[in-house]
Structure 1
Amino acid sequence: MQDRPDSRELLATLGDYLEAELMPALEGPLNYRTRVALNLCRILEREVRLGNSFLLRERQRLCRLLGLGPEDLLPGALQDQVEDLNQQLATDLARDALPAGFETSAWDALMATTRDKLAIVRPGYDRYDAAEETR
């Protein structure tokens, strides 16, 4: 583990600098490109802060969908495990090898994972509820 400032703090500081000092001094295309860089810093900052816990939850949801326990996981990095589980799910979907009631469980898992991803790339959109539109 690195001493402070850690990567999250460094990204936050860079984002603050871009937003408060650099962007006001720029116009036109340079201002736009700096805004893009600022948004990337904010996304990376949230990914560093939230990404691991979101991956853990996605792994848990995928294991539940696939009927797997911790002992069934291949050793490796969390990101690799989640990618492997997603590939296994895609294979099962292609073979139509799914248990009864899978659709409901899969929908709930997909919505939860999508909300987690939106919380990183587009905060605020993760609270959107499509069910509200049908009422």
Structure 2
Amino acid sequence: MQYRPTATELLTTLAELLEETLLPAVPPELRHQARVGAHLARLLERELRLGPEAARRERETRAQLDPADEAGLWAALVEIVRADLAIAKPGYDAWEGE
């Protein structure tokens, strides 16, 4: 049985509270700390939501690697890093390079 609100819902609400309610109300010298707190809450929410699937895919990908296949190794590394970026820095996971 999943209790409500879930951890991801609580973290989203915390981030919104910090960004939308507290940030405008705190003195300028404390705004950076409020932004950092909101960022951390959002990062943790993404880790809870996306992390298990990313870890599962990484295990599967690593199990299928052929050390002699350099192109396959590179593709696996790119896939793993994209999944990590989707959690840590959304938007950067879509970068295609030059």
TM-score by length of 2: 0.93
Is it true that 1:62 corresponds to 2:62 in the alignment?
A: yes
Distance of 2:36 and 2:27 partners within structure 1: 14
- Unpaired runs of 5+ in structure 2? none
Q: What is the aligned partner in structure 2 of residue 110 from structure 1?
A: 77
Provide the identity percentage.
45
Distance of 2:7 and 2:71 partners within structure 1: 38
1:29 is displaced (CA, Å) by 2.9
Is it true that 1:121 corresponds to 2:79 in the alignment?
A: no
Distance of 1:28 and 1:2 partners within structure 2: 39
Q: What is the aligned partner in structure 2 of residue 44 from structure 1?
A: 44
Distance of 1:37 and 1:129 partners within structure 2: 30
**Higher-Rg member (1/2):** 1
Distance of 1:124 and 1:43 partners within structure 2: 13
Q: What is the aligned partner in structure 2 of residue 16 from structure 1?
A: 16
Distance of 1:40 and 1:61 partners within structure 2: 28
Residue pairs, 1:90-101, within 5 angstroms: 98=67, 100-101=68-69
Q: What is the aligned partner in structure 2 of residue 31 from structure 1?
A: 31
- Unpaired runs of 5+ in structure 1? 67-97
Distance of 2:56 and 2:27 partners within structure 1: 42
Runs of 4+ in 1 over 3 A off after TM superposition: none
Secondary structure (helix, strand or coil) at the match of 1:65 reads coil
